[in-house]
A = this chain, B = another copy of it.
């Protein structure tokens, strides 16, 4: 058994690298959204033409990014969604809902202060973790049946 894992959500810390590094040696394919903030914001107009209106500027970019996001989630066995300390991160919650409706196994990663606000998202998850290292251990256990220690 191998796993395809999509890493959604917060892009301002190195949690993706921590998980990917920690999971070395396991049969896992990782995918992620584009995490270059400027490229992600501007891809639509940079490729398909400028928009004077900021709404359509954002819209064109969000649509292009959706090609990658939908493919990433559709291919995934497990979707990990990380909620950071800042920003609205509605796209993370949207991805979680999207993944849940498709029946993907959902792992949610967030600090304890977000527990109440994320209770509906957590309720759709098979694991709720606080640290990227816990996600690594979950993935290793799922693939090998081994617990640390």
B100 and A103 contacting across the interface, CB-CB below 8 Å: no
Are B72 and A1 in contact (CB-based, < 8 A)?
yes
Is A59 a contact partner of B134 (Cβ separation < 8 A)? no
Contact A127–B54 (Cβ < 8 Å): no
Q: Could you say which residues of chain B place their CB within 8 Å of the CB of A46?
A: 147-148
Q: A63 touches which one: B75, B127, B143, B145 (CB < 8 A)? A: B127
Complex: A69 Cα to B121 Cα, angstroms:
13
CB within 8 Å of B: which A74-128 residues: 74-75, 77-78, 83, 87-103, 105, 107, 114-128
Chain B residues within an 8 Å CB radius of A148: 46
Other-chain contact of A94, B72, B100, B145, B147 (Cβ < 8 Å) = B100
Q: Do residues A66 and B138 form an inter-chain contact, with CB atoms below 8 A?
A: no
* Chain B residues within 8 Å of A138, by CB: 47-48, 64, 67
Residues of chain B within 8 A of A20, CB atoms compared: none
Q: In the complex the two chains form, is A35's CB within 8 Å of B145's CB?
A: yes
**Residues B64 and A94 in contact, CB atoms below 8 Å apart:** no
In the complex, A79 Cα to B49 Cα: how many Å? Answer: 21
Closest 8 pairs between A and B when the two form their complex, measured CB to CB: A97-B97, A101-B101, A93-B93, A62-B123, A97-B98, A94-B97, A34-B145, A91-B120
